Every structure is written in structure tokens, then in C-alpha cells.
Chains A and B, each alone.
Chain A
Amino acid sequence: MSDGGATITATGLRKTFAGPDGHAIAAIDDISLTVHPGKLTALVGPDGAGKTTLIRMIAGLLKPDAGSLCVLGIDVAADPQAVQDRISYMPQRFGLYEDLSVQENLDLYADLHGVPQKERKERFARMLEMTDMARFTERPAGKLSGGMKQKLGLACTLVRSPDLLLLDEPSVGVDPLSRRDLWKIVQQLVDDEKLSVIVSTAYMDEAERCAQVFVMNRGRLLAEGPPGDLKKQAAGLTFTATPPEGMPARELQARLIDAPDLIIDAVPRGGSVRFIRRPEADEARFFELLHDALVEARPEEIEDAFMMMLRRQERQDRKTPAEPAAASVAAKRRDNPDKPVIVVRDLVRKFGDFTAVASTSFDVAPGEIFGLLGPNGAGKTTTFRMLCGLLPATSGHLEVAGLNLRNARAEARGRIGYVSQKFALYGNLSVRENLEFFGGAYGLRGKALRTRIAASLERFDLDPAMQSGLLPAGYKQRLAMATGLLHEPDILFLDEPTSGIDPLARRAFWHTITSLAGDGVTIIITTHFMEEAEYCDRIAIQDAGEMLALGTPRAVRKEAGDEGMDMNNAFIAIVEQGRAARNRKPSAA
């Protein structure tokens, strides 16, 4: 649409920050790249790769230490305002004014961008329709669910057609439906208005939609090219393994991922395990490993290529690749495996006249991994807070380890561990100090505390002296887990523990979870990554406070229509069926 030339040209770009120990850390280390107009361009990479720093430099918020950066033909370091007048930018946490209503937020940004009144009407209508928020224009932004906030942020960013749109991890913490909506909006704008978009993301399926992908790691560019070209390096190495009847897919996956010299990566999906074979893997040992599984080749995806690149880097950097193997998958089950540890009957929670959780019932058995899924605002967090005793239920019966934690004696809380949605540890304390505090709060002291801390530090590969607020997202998550597990709880509650974490860290996280479940720990987890539901023994899908589906992942997929479909699509299908049914109900009445 503009200049005809490149949207962005960067040469030898460099940006350093002072690290916690005073040494300079290069967040961006000699990056040169060219982005072409009218296309979707993705930046992918693990945590700390420098994606956000690069985007902020493009937006003129950070000044490069070396190299040149031209955006829309303007030297952004010399005249950031000229760039800022023409681009739109959505930071990771979009700065919505939570005390202003949806409409007031939109008006503010429209005024700031100087959108004329007559264009505005049409644009707002379109944005509200695309984000499905026309009903909520009067609601304060702070009262919206996470996914809605993100969509409103995008709408505020898109009140006018910019020459370049920058999106920094727009889909973190957003449920699959909202994620689909978000991308639909972006895609439409690219198609209709030939918008140039740069998006950073941790979702590989999102990278797959882009015309050009830049893979970054530790401030450097690992690879670039169209997804089709990038994924070629995985050609011929990608397979699907179906476990024998009766074996959960995650058990097979655990076996595969514990053989890093044969297998690059393995994840459960749709009842089978997708894996990447190491090209130099010994044939005999490879077949030995998969003796009981049905192995089929599958087309390679960009995620495969990405995992290969990261694993290669990881091997170069670290001596020990993965975490200590969770050998104890041989279950140390509870004495009475049939008696459920969590019993929920007709649980209801209302806030005023708004029903957050409506008549929900389920049981969780000891040692089970129970996934609680649902779109943003479905009532998952409310259910969670009631289970942990942070919120009283309006009505219904609730039992965790035989007690209602709200009224139970304090010691009962010592049997549960809780990892909340956003990082909720003390950011200005070091890793060790956080562990010491929570250990102490759970009544650990002396030698017992020291032993547990040493074990946790090793298990989660944490540096005890680091200030926890400055840890990269993946390590913060590990610390939160370490804290939640320090007192060896029987039941572990995890609220969206993997939001905003790169695929590598997620693999490691689930590795820990499955081994804990193997040890008999009961795990209740919520997530927006639907493929992670495959790790669960059973899942429940909630929407608008109601339970839509409950069962094993396979059963839920079947309920959605097709056992073979992936969890993401199954989830969307179930939620949409549920919503359709709900919309029919009032009209029938």
C-alpha cells in the first residue's frame, strides 16, 4: 500500500540491557532482516528470544544500540513519532483503561488516531461485529474476560487502518474460540486492506498461517522463510504412533521423550503420539522402542521444524538435555483408589444476578489428571477458587480430601498446592527466599526444609540466587510449580500454568506433571492449549458456568462428532453446540 519498498529493513541490529548482576545482556544480537509489505509475518522463538524487544524497537519505544532500522522508509531511531503516527501496536498486555467502558476505550483510541467521525461509525460497527462485543459496549473493560480484553485491545489497535500492524503475542491466555476470532479479524484485514502485519507468537499453528516466518533464539535469527520452506528440514522424520488398546497416549509419549538419542520430540494428540525421529537414530533400537505401537508417517509441520531447531540449540548449550527422568511412572497409587479425593455436587456461584458457575458436579479420583477447559469467562477460575477455599460457594456441596477448605482447619490446606494464573510469587525476592518462605508457611523447617528446597532446585533446574521477578516466563512457571510442590501436596491445582510459555518449556512442564500423577498426586488443571488436554485422564468442558462435556479426551472427541479430530476442533465444536442449544432454549420458552 505504501512506498513500494520493504516495510522494515534492519541491518546489524543490536540492543543490550543491564542484567541483574550488572553485566550487559544482549537481547537482540546482530539481527538483519527485511519484511515485505502487505503480508503476515511471524516472529517465533522461545521465551527470552528477543521478540518483544525487536517489536518495541520497530515501534520506536526502544533505541537500538547498534545497527540501523528503517520502518516504512523512516529511520525509526531518528524520528520515532513519524513512525508512531502511521503504525498500530498491540503490546503483550494491551493497556486498556479498565475503569472505562468498551465504547470509551474505542473512542479514545479513535480520537488519538484522528479517525474522522463518519469513518468511525462504520469502523466501530465492523470491529464490534468481528469481536462479537456489540452487546457489551457499556461494560467497563476491567469486567471483561481475558479473551474479550484481548479482542478489545485488538479492536482499539485497529480503529483505523495502519500502514503496519504490530502484534506482540496477541493470543496468550486466550481460549481457542477467541483465538480463532482474533485471527479471523487479522486475516480479513490482510486480505481486504493489504495490511502489513508482524505478529510474535508461541503457537506454531499461528506461524503456519503467515507468509514469512522468522525464528529467533537468544537475540539471534535462527532461520527465516515461508513456513513451507522451513518445515522441509523435518521432511521424512515425522510420524504418528498409536499405542496399543488400553495404554494412555501420554504413557507412550513419556517413553518416547525419555529416549532423546532416538526421538527429537513427542506429544500426545488425538489419542496417538506425534513424534519426530532423530535422523541418525539407530534403526534397531528405534523399532525396539516402538515395538507395541502402530507407527505411520505423517506430513511435517512447522512445529516439527521449530522443535528440531530448538532441541539442536539446547543440545549445544546444555550438558543435560531434559530433566531427571521420571522413572517412577510405575504407580505409587493411594490405598483406596476408588474413593474420589474431590467431590463436587451441584456447585453454584453467583455474583449479584450473574451466575458464574451453574450447578456443576464432578468427581476426581486420586492420582488423576483432571483438565478443566472452557473459553475465557466460562467459570473455570471461579470453580478453582471455590475448590481452594478462596471463595465461598453460593450453594452446593464441595469436598476436597473429605473437607470443605473454606471452613476446614488450616492444616487441611497443607494438603493442597496451588499455582495461580498469573505469576503470584514475590517478585523482589530471590528464588531461594520464595521457596524458604512458602516452605516455612507450610510448616517445613530445619533440615526437612533444606532438603526439600535442594531437591526442588534440582528438579526444576532453578538458580536459587536469581531475583524471581526477573526470571523469564518459563522459569517463573517452574518456580511457581516448585513452590506449589514444596510441601508434597496430595492435590495440585494449576490455573492456566502454561499460558505464555514456549513449546519447549511446555514439554518439560508436562513431563513433570505426568510423573507427579504417576506418584499418586491428584492434579486439577486448566489450559487454553487444547492439545494439552490430551495429557489429562479426564477433561470437563465448561461454558457460561455450565458443564458441557465430561469424560476421557477420547470420549469427549467422540461426543464432538469424530474420535479422530484434534482437541482444538473438538473443543470448538462442543462449545458452539452448547451455545446454540442455549440460544434455542429461551426462544422455545
Chain B
Amino acid sequence: MSASGFTTRLVALTRKETRQMLRDRSNLVVGLLLPVVLILLFGYGLSFDVKDARVTVVLEDSSPTARNIVAGLHGSPYLAPTWETSMAEAERMIRAGETDAILRVPGEFSARLAAGEGGLQLLLNGVDSTTASVIEGYVDGALSVPMQQQADRAGNKPAGAASVTIIRRIWFNETGESTWFLVPGLIVLVMTLIGAFLTSLLVAREWERGTLESLFVTPVRPLELVLSKLAPYIVIGGIDLILCLLAAKYLFLVPMRGSLWIIVVSSLLYLLVSLGLGLFISAITRNQFAASQMALLASFLPAMMLSGFVFDLRNTPVVIQVISQLLPATHFMGLIKTLFMAGDYWPDILRNCSILAFYAIVLIALTRRSLAKRLD
């Protein structure tokens, strides 16, 4: 068949796919509304930044010294201290989830302090370990100034004498905002979900409804089927990408230090991988239920949990690191975070983009093969 035959058929099939996509509202709900919901949730709803942590102070020693030290808590913008006289009551509160931490000043505190070893007790609810660590840090910080003053008064060596101090410089995300790394990660998630939720049903549906059998016995080539199913969803993905970028820039003020065009190109490359994976799953399962489950398990959940989105891969065992290196999402996740926060770092760009391109080509080729026009 001539090249014009190819174009005519591709256009016809693409038109068909587009119409089908537009006519079922649930496609648009997942393709366009869900990303918006996710953008808002990630930008506003999810935060690792603890505010107003509830610290219950049990002051069993009411000496001015003790009061003075504990007063430091009020200086912290992150802590909301309350006062309680009975330790039993405070313990009840932590059990009932009414407070996050207890700072206990024992009765003999002032006396022991005079002897040079005043001890405070910090009791944390360790169920939420991250929050607990953060609160511990805040309490430490809030108490450090009055404690230092206490030390000075006690006549220890002058502060800073012959000690190592740290000058911290956190690159890329100076203030440690969690939205800065959540929002670029969101682009990965959104690109993944279109492939996992929308294209994974496309071929399976045609198998189930028997429409492929009629389509097979026409001059249509398998590659045309694959390309026509990708096209409308690339447009949807493109719209979502624009939404994400706009939200990142204007809503969440995430810096975009890399070039916009590289961000766009690499995102589209990953979109292709994600759509290809969805189609491939769809083509081999031939069943909508199995396809959706597979897509969820093989593409979406790993992208969310194992790509380095929130959990840092450096902290995982080797097996998990190997698995995560096999996921295209991991490579795109690393790349997009670098592009947003660090800038154009070419070795990374070239390496990750070639990995993504490789996946895209392999997946599309596999899908094409599994659509070989055969029923057996």
C-alpha cells in the first residue's frame, strides 16, 4: 500500500479514537479533572512541614530558671506549647492523640542544674515517626538559646570557643519547601496515570467488544492502530503538562531553573513511554479488568512509591534500588527534579532521555507486535 494509504487510514483511525475518547465523559474526568484535583491536593493538601506542633509542658519545677528555659518554646513559630501540671494527664493526652509531645521538667531540675547536669525529658508519640523527628528538632532549636544562656551564666567556656560550627547551605531548595519537590514529581504522576488508567483499557475494550476482528480484515496495519491510539492521549497529556507547568510556576512558585523546552521534550518522551506501557498491557491482557489491575500494579503504584517521588531511593535496600532503576518513572523523576530545581545538567539529560526513548521505542514495537492481526 502506498504512503497516502497509510496517512488516510491513520487519520481515519485517529479521528475515530478521538471521537470515542470525547464521547465517554469518564475519560475526560480522569484525563483532565483528576490531574487538576491532584495538582491542588499536592500543592495545598500534602505537606511534610509541621506547623503548630502541640507540645504539652509539664512543669514540675516552677523555679524561674526552669520557667526561663521552657519559655523558649514560645519563640518557635512551629510549636504550640500548652501547660499541664499532672504528668498522668499529659500521658493520657498523648495516648488520646490530643498532643504530639510532652516536655517534662522534673522537680529536681534546678537543683541538678546547679550541679551541672540538669536533665529535661521529651516524650514523643513515635507512631508518626517523621513528625516526631521534626518536633524533636524544633524543640531542640527552641530551647538551644535559653540553654546556651544558662551555660554562659554557669560559667562554662564561652560559646563557640574551640568548637566546630556548621555553615549549612542547602542547594536547589534553600528553605526546604516540600512543594518544591512534590510538584515536579506530580508531573511524573500525571503523565503516568493517563497511560495507566486511560490507554490501558483501549485495546482490551476492542478485544472484548469484538471490534478488532472487523478491523483486522481491512488494509489496516498494526502500527497504524498503535499510533492512532496514542495520538489523542498525547494531546490530553500535553494539556495536563501545560496545566502542571502553569500551576508550578504561578500557583506554587516552584523555580524552573532548567530550560522550558527540555522540560517539555522530556515530559513528552515520558508520556510516550507511559502511553506505550498502557497500550502494551492492554494488548496482551485483552481484558479490561485484568488490564486495569496490571496497569495499576505495574505502572501507577511503582511510579508513586518506588520512583523516588517522596521516598528517597538512597535509603532502600539494593533489591529495591535495582527494581526502581528498571522503572522508566524513576529516570524521569530524577530528571524532572533536576531540571526544575538544579537546571540543565547535560549528562543527566542525555542519559535519562536516551533511556526514556529506548523504553518508548521498545514498548511501541512490542505493542505493534502483539496487535499482529491474528486471533490465535
Contact = CB atoms under 8 A, between A and B. Distances in A.
Interface string A422-451: 000000000000000000000000000000
30 contacts: A60-B217, A61-B213, A61-B376, A62-B376, A63-B374, A63-B376, A80-B373, A80-B374, A84-B219, A85-B1, A87-B217, A88-B217, A93-B210, A94-B210, A95-B210, A96-B211, A96-B214, A97-B16, A98-B209, A99-B19, A99-B24, A100-B20, A104-B19, A108-B12, A111-B12, A112-B12, A112-B219, A112-B220, A114-B1, A114-B219
Interface string B41-62: 0000000000000000000000
A114 B375 CA distance: 24
Given A96-B211, A111-B9, A84 B216 contact: yes
Contacts of B220: 112
Nearest to B12: A111
Interface string A81-92: 100110111110
Nearest to B221: A81
Nearest to A89: B217
Contact of A94 (B23, B214, B375): B214
A317 B204 CA distance: 40
Interface in B324-376: 373-376
Interface string B13-42: 101100110011000000000000000000
Given A95-B211, A100-B19, A112 B217 contact: no
The size bracket of the interface on B is 20 to 34
B175 interface: no
A113 interface: yes
Q: Can you list the 10 inter-chain pairs with the closest CB atoms, starting with the nearest?
A: A111-B12, A95-B211, A95-B214, A89-B217, A112-B218, A61-B375, A85-B219, A99-B23, A91-B213, A59-B217
A104 B219 contact: no
Task: Tell which of A17, A93, A108 has the most Cβ of chain B within 10 Å.
Answer: A108
A90 to B, nearest CB: 7
A91 to B, nearest CB: 5
Interface string A112-156: 111000000000000000000000000000000000000001001
A108 B219 CA distance: 12
B315 interface: no
Contacts of A30: none
Contacts of B206: 95
B163 interface: no
A566 interface: no
A255 interface: no
Given A95-B210, A95-B215, A62 B12 contact: no
B304 interface: no
A463 interface: no
B278 to A, nearest CB: 20
Contacts of B13: 108, 112
A423 to B, nearest CB: 15
Given A61-B216, A61-B374, A100-B20, 9 more contacts: A56-B375, A60-B217, A60-B373, A61-B373, A89-B214, A107-B12, A112-B13, A112-B215, A156-B214
Task: Tell which of A93, A94, A114 has the most Cβ of chain B within 10 Å.
Answer: A114
Nearest to B376: A62
The size bracket of the interface on A is 35 or more
A460 interface: no
A81 B373 contact: yes
Contacts of A166: 217
B107 interface: no
B32 to A, nearest CB: 18
Interface in B197-211: 206, 209-211
A359 to B, nearest CB: 35
B211 A97 contact: yes
A475 interface: no
A239 interface: no
Contacts of B216: 59, 61, 84
A177 to B, nearest CB: 24
Task: Tell which of B9, B373, B375 has the most Cβ of chain A within 10 Å.
Answer: B375
Contacts of A203: none
Given A61-B373, A114-B5, A100 B16 contact: yes
Nearest to A94: B214
Task: Tell which of B8, B13, B20, B214 has the most Cβ of chain A within 10 Å.
Answer: B214
Contacts of A286: none
A89 B219 CA distance: 12
A60 B217 CA distance: 8
Contact of B219 (A56, A94, A98, A113): A113
Contacts of B213: 61, 91, 95
A62 B212 CA distance: 14
A510 interface: no
A123 B375 CA distance: 31
Given A85-B219, A95-B214, A108-B16, A114 B23 contact: no
B11 interface: yes
B91 to A, nearest CB: 55
Contact of B20 (A87, A89, A95, A97): A97
B57 to A, nearest CB: 64
Contact of A111 (B8, B19, B24, B374): B8
A309 B124 CA distance: 88
A56 B210 CA distance: 13
Contacts of B219: 81, 84-85, 112-114
Interface in A1-37: 17
Contacts of B218: 84, 109, 112-113
Nearest to A107: B12
A251 B19 CA distance: 56
Contacts of B9: 111-112, 114
A104 B17 CA distance: 11
Nearest to B224: A112
B217 A61 contact: yes
A363 B212 CA distance: 45
B8 A114 contact: yes
Contacts of A95: 206, 209-215
A58 to B, nearest CB: 10
Contacts of B376: 17, 61-63
A570 B206 CA distance: 40
A60 to B, nearest CB: 7
A109 B374 CA distance: 19
Contacts of B211: 95-97
A157 B1 CA distance: 19
Contacts of B209: 95, 98
B26 to A, nearest CB: 12
B342 to A, nearest CB: 46
A250 B24 CA distance: 50
A91 B373 contact: no
